[in-house]
């Protein structure tokens, strides 16, 4: 079996050679790049699985390099290091997609540990990035609506991980449907006939969460008038979903780690522990890697939870699914509220497709429910939308009062062409020339945008050849 390939990017040749020599000695295939731009060219040339990069480099610095790398090869794991560490830098690196951050001078054994973890992480995800989704059990995923590429990849990942008992960590913004994904994993697993037990760690007071999770015996604390089993025992042979795991306090993180290691729970006030067979699925809208870096979340617990990490895309990154979601919720609320709303006119669909959706799918669902109740019947038009949707940047694209038709007329095709060109160039400017990000801003496929650029012969100084 071929050993993993690692690329080291650093303008300091001594550091680069030192790290390369160590990793080569450990059996890895190692390549070198003298800065970020050189690294981008060598990533595909050598088909590497991991990049270890310095932050302070000429031409393309480490942070910008990681952003560009993730846009073209999201499956590659990156480890960053620098002698000029601060919290803001670390947060930006993790947000950009770095797997881990090391402060120079770093211990080589520590580096090796993170290299091994990073390569394990990369191996788990590589298939989902490179293979074409083939959804076999779509009937069990009906509650999760989507046909975009990101959602099809998500469905495939859910199917793959459901058959194992490995711990899953679901990350994503509020309202993206983390519990729906957790339930889908349970429903596709061999534990289907057993309990799916959900616990919102942020909704239960800290002093009660331990008892809620592990149970308690009668008289163990004031108010414990009877023995009560905890959620772990309720989920025995089934699945326990720990939502908002990032809000769990440090003392409970230690106890949860012990349960994950020993597969035993000890109720509050008990003298003996109990064996449990539970699959754990955790979820959070917080960046746990960043919390690990800031010491607000235990690193050992993070690695126990993120054996299989799944990241849910925000709704603004899956614009092609918005029409599906609107019609799905319209049908449901029409039935539930006995309404006769016929649908959404073209302008409403355009406005909502270009809206940012900070509240994600939950916000869209609430909007449809509100409009069905208020409208009752007929077609929903732009005037039916709440003010924030009608006055937002999505609606501004469609305002007809900003366009004046000359008395002698004008060429419509030329005007549409010019309008399209301006939007494409603006998207490229906002994305700093990154075609993939520009395509997402325009709700286009990357290949479609590239074809338009070739056909229109548009030139933008910042466009990257990627």
User: Torsion over CA of 127, 118, 3 and 128, rounded to 10 degrees?
Assistant: 0
pLDDT of residue 85: 64
Whether residue 159 sits in one domain with residue 296: yes
Q: How far apart, in Å, are the Cα atoms of 453 and each of 72, 437, 439, 448, 449?
A: 18, 15, 11, 9, 6
Question: Which residue range is the domain that position 368 belongs to?
Answer: 317-402
**Residue 449 within a domain:** yes
Residue 274 near residue 318, CB atoms below 8 Å: no
Of 241, 223, 243, 224, residue with least CA distance to 232: 241
Whether residue 289 sits in one domain with residue 146: yes
Whether residue 252 sits in one domain with residue 379: no
Whether residue 423 sits in one domain with residue 306: no
Give the tokens for residue 345.
């006119």
Whether residue 307 sits in one domain with residue 368: no
Whether residue 396 sits in one domain with residue 268: no
Whether residue 391 sits in one domain with residue 250: no
Domain boundary among 282, 313, 344: 313
Residue 377 CB neighbour total at 10 angstroms: 10
Beta-bridge partner residues of 33: 9
Gap between the Cα atoms of 67 and 51, Å rounded: 13
Residue 262 CB neighbour total at 10 angstroms: 12
Domain boundary among 104, 130, 156: 130
Residue 398 near residue 351, CB atoms below 8 Å: yes
Residue 308 near residue 174, CB atoms below 8 Å: no
What CATH number does residue 340 fall under?
1.10.8.60
Domain boundary among 294, 313, 332: 313
Give the tokens for residue 115.
């290299």
The rounded Cα 439 to chain-centroid distance in angstroms is: 19
Which residue is associated with the tokens 């449907």? 177
Gap between the Cα atoms of 155 and 133, Å rounded: 8
pLDDT of residue 463: 41
What CATH number does residue 429 fall under?
1.10.10.60
Whether residue 300 sits in one domain with residue 155: yes
Give the tokens for residue 233.
């025992």
pLDDT of residue 406: 59
**Residue 461 within a domain:** no
What CATH number does residue 32 fall under?
3.40.50.2300
Exposed / middle / buried, residue 141 (Cβ in 10 Å: 0-12, 13-18, 19+): buried
Gap between the Cα atoms of 341 and 135, Å rounded: 32
| Total number of domains in the chain | 4
**Residue 465 within a domain:** no
**Residue 31 within a domain:** yes
Locate all alpha helices (DSSP H) within 337-430, ordered by sequence.
346-353, 360-375, 387-390, 393-396, 412-430
Of 312, 314, 310, residue with least CA distance to 322: 314
pLDDT of residue 438: 85
Q: How far apart, in Å, are the Cα atoms of 192 and each of 308, 372, 461?
A: 19, 35, 55
Of 263, 256, 265, 264, residue with least CA distance to 305: 256
User: Could you give the 3-state DSSP secondary structure of residue 404?
Assistant: coil
Locate all alpha helices (DSSP H) within 97-248, ordered by sequence.
108-130, 149-162, 178-187, 206-214, 231-234
**Residue 379 within a domain:** yes
pLDDT of residue 401: 47
**Residue 135 within a domain:** no
**Residue 427 within a domain:** yes
Secondary structure element (H or E) that encloses residue 264, with its range: strand 264-265
Whether residue 391 sits in one domain with residue 303: no
Whether residue 274 sits in one domain with residue 148: yes
Exposed / middle / buried, residue 146 (Cβ in 10 Å: 0-12, 13-18, 19+): buried
Which residue is associated with the tokens 């900070």? 358
Phi, psi of 158, deg, nearest 5: -60, -45
Whether residue 292 sits in one domain with residue 148: yes
Gap between the Cα atoms of 308 and 424, Å rounded: 37
Whether residue 300 sits in one domain with residue 177: yes
Of 143, 94, 151, residue with least CA distance to 290: 94
pLDDT of residue 131: 44
Residues 44, 46, 51, 54, CA torsion sign:
negative
pLDDT of residue 465: 37
What CATH number does residue 247 fall under?
3.40.50.300
Give the tokens for residue 404.
């004046």
Secondary structure element (H or E) that encloses residue 31, with its range: strand 29-33
Residue 212 near residue 265, CB atoms below 8 Å: no
Gap between the Cα atoms of 448 and 103, Å rounded: 42
Each residue's pLDDT expressed in tens, for the chain with a length of 466 residues: 678 999 999 988 899 999 999 999 999 999 998 888 888 888 878 889 999 998 888 877 888 888 888 877 777 889 988 887 677 777 778 777 788 888 888 888 888 988 988 888 777 666 544 444 444 555 456 578 888 888 888 988 998 899 888 999 999 999 999 999 999 999 999 999 999 999 999 999 888 898 889 988 887 777 777 888 889 999 999 999 999 999 999 989 999 999 998 899 888 888 788 899 999 999 999 999 899 999 999 999 999 999 999 999 999 988 888 988 998 898 889 888 888 888 888 888 888 988 889 999 999 999 999 999 999 888 898 889 988 887 766 555 555 444 555 555 656 666 677 778 778 888 887 887 888 888 888 888 888 888 888 777 665 554 433 3
Give the tokens for residue 312.
């849910």
Gap between the Cα atoms of 146 and 152, Å rounded: 7
DSSP character at residue 313: P
**Residue 419 within a domain:** yes
């Amino acid at each position: 079996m071929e050993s993993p390939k690692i690329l080291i990017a650093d303008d300091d040749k001594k550091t680069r050679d030192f790290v390369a020599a160590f990793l080569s000695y450990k059996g890895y295939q190692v390549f070198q790049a003298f800065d970020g731009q050189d690294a981008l060219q060598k990533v595909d040339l050598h088909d590497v699985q991991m990049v270890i990069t310095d932050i302070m480099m000429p031409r393309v610095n480490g942070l910008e390099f990681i952003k560009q790398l993730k846009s073209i090869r999201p499956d590659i794991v990156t480890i960053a290091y620098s002698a000029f560490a601060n919290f803001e830098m670390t947060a930006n690196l993790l947000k950009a997609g770095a797997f881990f951050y090391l402060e120079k001078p770093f211990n080589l054994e520590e580096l090796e540990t993170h290299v091994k973890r990073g390569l394990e992480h990369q191996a788990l995800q590589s298939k989902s990035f490179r293979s074409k989704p083939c959804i076999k059990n779509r009937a069990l995923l009906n509650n999760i609506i989507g046909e975009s590429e990101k959602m099809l990849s998500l469905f495939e990942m859910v199917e793959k991980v459901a058959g194992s008992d490995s711990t899953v960590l679901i990350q994503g913004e509020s309202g993206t449907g983390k519990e729906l994904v957790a339930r889908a994993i349970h429903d596709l697993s061999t534990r289907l006939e057993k309990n799916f037990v959900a616990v919102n760690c942020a909704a239960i007071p800290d002093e009660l969460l331990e008892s809620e999770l592990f149970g308690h015996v009668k008289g163990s604390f004031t108010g414990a008038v009877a023995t009560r089993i905890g959620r772990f025992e309720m989920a025995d042979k089934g699945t326990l979903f720990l939502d908002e795991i990032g809000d769990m306090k440090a003392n409970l993180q230690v106890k949860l780690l012990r349960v994950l290691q020993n597969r035993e729970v000890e109720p509050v006030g008990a003298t003996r522990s109990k064996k449990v067979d539970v699959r754990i699925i955790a979820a959070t809208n917080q960046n746990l890697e960043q919390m690990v870096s800031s010491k607000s979340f235990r690193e050992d617990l993070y690695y126990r939870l993120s054996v299989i990490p799944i990241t849910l895309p925000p709704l603004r990154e899956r614009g092609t699914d918005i029409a599906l979601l609107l019609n799905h919720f319209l049908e449901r609320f029409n039935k539930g509220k006995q309404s006769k709303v016929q649908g959404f006119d073209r302008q409403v669909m355009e406005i909502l497709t270009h809206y940012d959706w900070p509240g994600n799918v939950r916000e869209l669902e609430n909007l449809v429910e509100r409009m069905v109740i208020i409208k009752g019947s007929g077609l929903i038009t732009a005037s039916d939308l709440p003010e924030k949707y009608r006055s937002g940047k999505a609606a501004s694209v469609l305002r007809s009062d900003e366009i004046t038709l000359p008395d002698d007329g004008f060429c419509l095709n030329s005007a549409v062409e010019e309008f399209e060109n301006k939007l494409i160039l603006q998207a490229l400017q906002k994305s700093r020339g990154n075609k993939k990000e520009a395509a997402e801003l325009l709700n286009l496929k990357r290949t479609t945008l590239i074809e338009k650029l070739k056909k229109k012969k548009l030139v933008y100084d910042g466009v990257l050849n990627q």
